[in-house]
């Protein structure tokens, strides 16, 4: 019997392992002393916007099904403030249905160019209709048509079927005004924990976790 091919990464090492604290001209500061997680997030995100080549707002979103089996996918962060992290999706998609049954989620944003990541966990609620309407109106017309045409996460026999559905919706809404579908909205993750991680030489990373207790945040530095 021929040997089964193996995909092994155990000997692969990152080229920056052991490098100093300078990252693309930035000097690593002791962010673990910052008492404000949202202020720190805004600072890090602004730096990611300047250095990350594409989609600094791309984040991995994890939800769980009824059996506790997790699902994870990349979505785009569209708003973030002290109320939470906002993304938009079809409410009948896998993540929409899972959030309806279990309104809790986790996320991570990873910025390779800065060797940083931010994690958060929390409870999830839908945004107000007016907020969802306002964001939907900023999307390209074809994206708005696609939100109507796509039966997200359902089986699809061919791409041609999808494109015909988009064309049909375009005939239904021939002008520039395309209203938001009732099955499409935004979700806000109100974090109960936020964790900031920064790469360190020889895997001696820096980590700090903020935990929401009442109306205040408590912070703890963590072993890497």
Nearest alpha-carbon partner for 111 in 36, 34, 23: 23
Run of H or E including 50: helix 37-51
CA distances, 44 to each of 38, 87, 93, 168 (Å): 10, 19, 31, 43
Q: How far apart are CA 69 and CA 114, in angstroms?
A: 32
- Say which of 203, 209, 212, 213 is annotated catalytic: 203
* Residue 95, marked binder: yes
Q: Which CATH architecture has domain 29-128+183-222?
A: Roll (2.30)
Q: Which of the residues in the chain have pLDDT under 50?
A: 24-27
* Residue 78, marked binder: yes
Run of H or E including 130: helix 129-138
pTM: 0.89
pLDDT in tens, 81-95: 999 999 999 999 999
* Residue 89, marked binder: yes
* Residue 171, marked binder: no
User: Would residue 203 show up in a list of annotated catalytic residues for this protein?
Assistant: yes
Structure tokens at 20: 């100093």
pLDDT in tens, 192-205: 999 999 999 899 99
Structure tokens at 204: 């001696």
Helical ranges in 121-158 per DSSP H: 129-138, 141-149
């Amino acid at each position: 019997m021929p040997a089964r091919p193996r995909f092994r990464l155990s000997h692969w090492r990152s080229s920056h392992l052991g490098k100093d604290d300078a990252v693309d001209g930035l000097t690593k500061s002791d962010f673990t002393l910052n008492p404000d997680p949202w202020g720190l997030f805004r600072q890090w995100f602004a730096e990611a916007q300047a250095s990350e080549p594409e989609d600094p707002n791309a984040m991995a979103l994890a939800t769980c099904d009824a059996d506790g089996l997790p699902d994870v996918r990349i979505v785009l962060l569209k708003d973030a403030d002290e109320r939470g992290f906002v993304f938009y999706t079809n409410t009948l998609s896998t993540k929409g249905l899972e959030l309806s049954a279990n309104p809790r989620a986790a996320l991570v944003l990873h910025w390779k160019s800065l060797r940083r990541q931010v994690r958060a966990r929390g409870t999830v609620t839908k945004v107000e209709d007016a907020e969802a309407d306002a964001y939907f109106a900023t999307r390209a017309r074809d994206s708005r048509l696609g939100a109507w045409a796509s039966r997200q996460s359902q089986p699809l026999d061919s791409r041609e079927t999808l494109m015909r559905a988009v064309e049909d919706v375009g005939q239904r809404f021939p002008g520039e005004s395309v209203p938001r579908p009732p099955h499409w909205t935004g979700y806000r993750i109100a974090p109960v924990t936020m964790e900031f991680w920064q790469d360190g030489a020889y895997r001696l990373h820096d980590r700090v976790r903020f935990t929401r207790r009442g109306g205040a945040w408590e912070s703890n530095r963590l072993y890497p």
